[in-house]
Amino acid sequence: MRSPAPADSPGRWWRGLPPLLLLLLLLQAQVLRCSQLTFELPDSAKQCFHEEMEQGVKFTLGYQVISGGHYDVDCFIEDPHGKTIYKETKKQYDSFFHQTENKGIYKFCFSNEFSTFTHKIVFFDLLIGDEPPILPEMGNRVTALTQMESACVTIHEALKTVIDSQTHYRLREAQDRNRADELNERVSYWSVGETVILFVVSISQVMLLKSFFTEKRPTSRGVNS
Query: CATH: 3.40.50.720, 3.30.420.40, 3.40.30.10, 2.60.120.380. Which one for 19-132+151-177?
Result: 2.60.120.380
53 vs 172: which has the higher pLDDT:
53
Long-range contacts of 113-117 (CB under 8 A, 24+ apart): 113/44, 113/45, 113/46, 113/74, 114/74, 114/89, 114/90, 115/43, 115/44, 115/68, 115/69, 116/43, 116/44, 117/43, 117/69
* Mean pLDDT calculated for residue range 170-197: 87
pLDDT tens per residue across span 4-24? 444 443 444 344 444 444 444
The mean pLDDT of 141-153, rounded to a whole number, is 70
pLDDT band at 33 (very low <50, low <70, confident <90, very high): very low
Domain range annotation of the chain? 19-132+151-177
Query: For the segment 60-75, what is each residue's pLDDT rounded down to a tens digit?
Result: 999 999 888 888 999 9
